[in-house]
Structure 1
């Protein structure tokens, strides 16, 4: 997404567009039937707002977790670090964020949880190098992630790997982690648009493979080239049609509506391209859930259970006076 807010590899997206068109295939209605949601999703509101909190200073307003507005239901701490052991995670606070001690940070996590919020640790980002590609690294991922959850009090993990992943071993790692964490485990994902064009893509396969423990996929509708919608037409980023036509792929491709969210930049400074006004996010949510506010793309049905929206980041939102969370947060909670 994330980290430096540089434009994502749009050239790659354009290059694979034709291939995606031939590879794109949705399962039958029977195959796409919703499965029962895991208990982990129960702690998160039916319609929820996710925000990434930056554990670094990249020009956005520096803030502590206590400063994150109440509109955010899930706060993803960005980011965990990779170690020299494949799959293993570590985390340490950047002095730039102003915490005097780890104890203060842990206290802020606990305070957010006392308010009914979930705080998860995000793995990846634009420069993330965590690799899970065999059984050993899958176990290392699960063990280290669980250790960090116990140490800091995180409710779960966010998968934001932008440099590829192996669906078989990542799904194994996440199931191992969920088994350790129990029913309160929260699992979120933030794939790039290219990662969710087809159910045969590794990221999409991972999401489907962990559907039983998955809370929400907040795909990044920005820093992207033009992409295919579920109707086979090409849509350009920065519009309500881009959001709704691409969300439709996930909704028809097997994810439950409660597992689908809209990921967008909180301000025009938060991403290299693809920013839309908060009102466009609201329109897209209305189009998907109610059939109103649509552009030229009209979804074949409505999905009232769509989870909500995500912002990169709470810091960029704060830099813009929290205009995003004030507008989109209220709209999501009113669905």
Structure 2
């Protein structure tokens, strides 16, 4: 486990120091030898999506366990005036102290999961020059020892790929880092996330990184998204396949086959080092989302049948997998549910045969109003047959007493598949308005979002979920705004 050294902690307490410089003891470094599912983690809150959705900031320990590689985004240059060596700073808006962040990395390590530091991103401003090799290597080692990272992912994009001497300095520096930890009997993981057009022989901007780290990198997870019409030409009747081609299975298969075998104008990345990168949903990228997971299953199965199975899948990002769409509906970790079991066990997930409800939504009704809990509510099985007559409702609503009532709807089809859905019904007095934004322990709240709770109004200082207003103290997440003039 990576823990705070006892001597450091004890000394700090005895001396009465106000702050403690927290460092992870990197006694362990977790590397992955089998299949991987890579997910990028946002070091910021409330990311805006391409389709109007929202990606919350989350604790590392909240990331689904099937993500066995988590890339912390990003190591970059925060202030050009402070020098050109990239670094990493934990965003305070996330609400994690450095010691808590270190503990969370240690927790994932104890589960056999790797946490890498991702270098780059769209606004990286990384422009290293010849002679920076040792300084950059020293900073990577410092951050690795401080936080307990298990490696580094090169995620340079756009101009940063070829900026200054990045193509030679970064590989040389990472070879220094790799050797440093190899001497300690550890494998410092090195991975890359190139945009796939830069893997062609004709436009191979990423080739210096791959060639410079040949024999040292662990795997490469190209981004097969945000590239529009780029693709691969396949001889014969298949023809041109773009990333956005409706023939998604064909694109996944042929672009992978081209990279594995170094054909059709692409460089070679062997199958055991190729991880297929796609967005978690339509908010995670402008294009490239795989609507039907069966397309990926089929393409991967074809590659496996020819003796060249891929190493796994990558996604941008775990936050988007846990995010919401423009209507506020949760994506509900669909990406990892679609691909987790398949990648780790080579079996597609069991189809969800649960019946589907319609017409159930939280509602507000005036005091004394007649309420029928089944009005407008229906249910159907997966074949579309109506099974509304089988709906059962647990709980009651007393429309003569102001309050919030909880109902649970249940239904089963003829095959024994069942579904349950909760509903909240609020009975209010016409003479006193209802608070439209009552705090809910199961809901996530973004920075500056307001709620009402226990007769008062509150504003979130940063992203939060489950923290009850009035219990977090003066320096906590909730700021009291005064009395609420509603019920």
Q: TM-score range by the shorter chain?
A: 0.7 to 0.9
Contact residue 146 and residue 177 of structure 1 kept, 8 A: yes
1:204 and 2:207 equivalent? Answer: yes
Larger helix fraction of residues: 1
Mapped partners of 2:69, 2:213: distance in 1 = 19
Mapped partners of 1:244, 1:193: distance in 2 = 14
Task: Find the counterpart in structure 2 of residue 79 from structure 1.
Answer: 74
* 1:282 equivalent among 289, 297, 319: 297
Cα offset for 1:139?
A: 2.3
1:69 and 2:73 equivalent? Answer: no
Tell me the alpha carbon deviations over residues 127-171 of structure 1, each in whole angstroms, 9 at most, x when there is no partner: 11212342x122222111111101100001010000323433322
Q: How does 1:271-310 map to 2 (within 5 A)?
A: 271-277=285-291, 278-290=293-305, 301-304=306-309, 306-310=310-314
Task: Find the counterpart in structure 2 of residue 245 from structure 1.
Answer: 254
280-289 vs 170-179, greater mean Cα deviation: 280-289
Tell me the alpha carbon deviations over residues 283-309 of structure 1, each in whole angstroms, 9 at most, x when there is no partner: 33223222xxxxxxxxxx4403x2100
Contact residue 193 and residue 220 of structure 1 kept, 8 A: yes
Larger strand fraction of residues: 2
Tell me the alpha carbon deviations over residues 199-227 of structure 1, each in whole angstroms, 9 at most, x when there is no partner: 87131232133121111111011100323
Cα offset for 1:242?
A: 2.4
Task: Find the counterpart in structure 2 of residue 128 from structure 1.
Answer: 124
| SS of corresponding position for 1:331 | helix
Mapped partners of 1:158, 1:107: distance in 2 = 21
Mapped partners of 1:279, 1:66: distance in 2 = 29
Mapped partners of 1:282, 1:141: distance in 2 = 40
Task: Find the counterpart in structure 2 of residue 175 from structure 1.
Answer: 175
* 1:327 equivalent among 333, 338, 355: 338
Mapped partners of 1:151, 1:157: distance in 2 = 14
Contact residue 87 and residue 138 of structure 1 kept, 8 A: no
Contact residue 86 and residue 131 of structure 1 kept, 8 A: no
1:49 and 2:37 equivalent? Answer: yes
Q: 1:45 to 1:326 in 2, by over 3 A?
A: farther
| SS of corresponding position for 2:41 | strand
Mapped partners of 1:113, 1:77: distance in 2 = 14
Cα offset for 1:323?
A: 1.1
The TM-score with structure 2 as length reference comes to 0.55
Structure 1 unaligned spans of 5+:
1-40, 291-300
Task: Find the counterpart in structure 2 of residue 98 from structure 1.
Answer: 95
| SS of corresponding position for 1:202 | coil
Cα offset for 1:54?
A: 0.6
Mapped partners of 1:174, 1:234: distance in 2 = 37
Q: 1:288 to 1:279 in 2, by over 3 A?
A: same
Contact residue 54 and residue 315 of structure 1 kept, 8 A: yes
Task: Find the counterpart in structure 2 of residue 119 from structure 1.
Answer: 115
Mapped partners of 1:62, 1:175: distance in 2 = 33
Task: Find the counterpart in structure 2 of residue 295 from structure 1.
Answer: none
Mapped partners of 2:83, 2:197: distance in 1 = 25
Q: 1:249 to 1:91 in 2, by over 3 A?
A: same
Mapped partners of 1:287, 1:220: distance in 2 = 21
Task: Find the counterpart in structure 2 of residue 261 from structure 1.
Answer: 275
Count of residues in Structure 1 that have an aligned counterpart in Structure 2? 283
178-187 vs 62-71, greater mean Cα deviation: 178-187
| SS of corresponding position for 2:100 | helix
Contact residue 133 and residue 170 of structure 1 kept, 8 A: no
73-82 vs 180-189, greater mean Cα deviation: 180-189
Larger radius of gyration: 2
Could you list the structure 1 runs, at least 4 aligned residues long, displaced by more than 6 angstroms after superposition: none
Cα offset for 1:93?
A: 1.2
Mapped partners of 2:295, 2:132: distance in 1 = 41
* 2:147 equivalent among 131, 149, 152: 152
Tell me the alpha carbon deviations over residues 25-75 of structure 1, each in whole angstroms, 9 at most, x when there is no partner: xxxxxxxxxxxxxxxx99304211100011112120321100001000110
